Structure 1
Amino acid sequence: MDELLNSQCIDFRKLLILKAKSLKITDQECFLLLVIMTMNDIGMKPITPSQIGQLCSLSLQQIDKTLISLVDKHFIARKRGTLDLLPIQKMLLNQSVEEEKDVDLLSIFENAFGRSLNQMELEIINTFKRSGYDDQMILDALNESVKAGVINFRYIEKILDNWSRYGVKKRYAPSTPTVRQDVDQNIKDYKWWAEDE
């Protein structure tokens, strides 16, 4: 079944329209999913509420509310700053969708900052989540700011913006070790010091 998902041989837009009522997807949610699927197919990255707003007549508040509803109902997921359509695609193919456990961002941020967060800072974290950043990406950006010694929300926001703009997952991603190739025996045995000039 995963081969079908990866090969893109299924028209999920048609399947969504046919199965939306049985999955209890509202008309507005269905429309927004169709817009997101289309944006994804034509390669628009990252997909944000403001970009969606340029393509439809819904207000940003309606788009934001509907996106939160779709995430809460596990029709879409936020992964690395982008919207992931894999959950709805699996539902449309009658596959089970694994739910990810939520991370307690509040306590992790409070530990990093060494104090309780105020209401404005909590709203900034919620804004990160509404912008499509998943919990792990937010934590990675926090860790980057701690490594840099600049622990503030503006710096974290700039890290997330840069990562989503350039498609970077982590600054210090684990690299694969380089494989040393065998050197020809003639080159190994070459005695450069014994050359006649």
Structure 2
Amino acid sequence: MDQNLLVKWTTQKHITIPSLLLQYYHRLGLKEEELVALLHVQAFIDDGDGFPTPEFLSERMSYSMNECAELLGRLIRKGFLTLEKKWDEQGILFEYYTLEPLWHRLLQFVKGEEAQLEEKQKENQEGLLYQRFEEEFCRPLSPIEAETLGMWIDQDKHTVELITQALREAVVSGKLNFRYIDRILFEWKRNGVKTAEQARTHGEKFRKYQNPPKQEQKRAKAESYPSFSWLDKS
């Protein structure tokens, strides 16, 4: 192959195809020939031709001019392509294509997919949380307990991670009941505790305050009795 021709090919402008478009075009309702037509339109736009005619499109595709005209019309009707109008600097009205509707729909679709994935992950986490509670309580949760657990998540906006940590605190304290766990969550919220790490730190400080070292306990116990000095006996 001629070296100059190779350099010319490799230095030409390239159209960038978002990988998300290739991944989701069929789920957006695009057929293969429609996708290729859109890519050709985008290539024309990148080259400075904002209004490629069906004739020009036909020269690049294996479709007749009439078929390309129908293809462009179908893409407009389906909301993937828009024909806009604009006045130029000389006051002449001209038309041009834009693929903004396609990019907007792709963005909304991806956001919807991510939201569904997050919702599914949340449901899985909540299911594991219910299972963890039943394992610690060694029994199925009552309807009221299940409702309370749901309220902690939906109304109080406590994270699954934080509720799990509150359950651990209740187990460590030997007070495994929903009222005590609710009290823990209330105190954490009041003190700005939002993560499991903050909760662990807060719990350690609380237990240290509630259970001082044995030396301090002995000293406090000794000080609670009246002192006696053999020198003061009469």
More relative contact order, 1 or 2 (CA 8 Å, 6+ apart): 1
TM-score of the alignment, normalized to the shorter chain, above 0.5: no
Q: TM-score range by the shorter chain?
A: 0.3 to 0.5
**Structure whose alpha-carbon radius of gyration is higher:** 2
TM-score by length of 2: 0.34
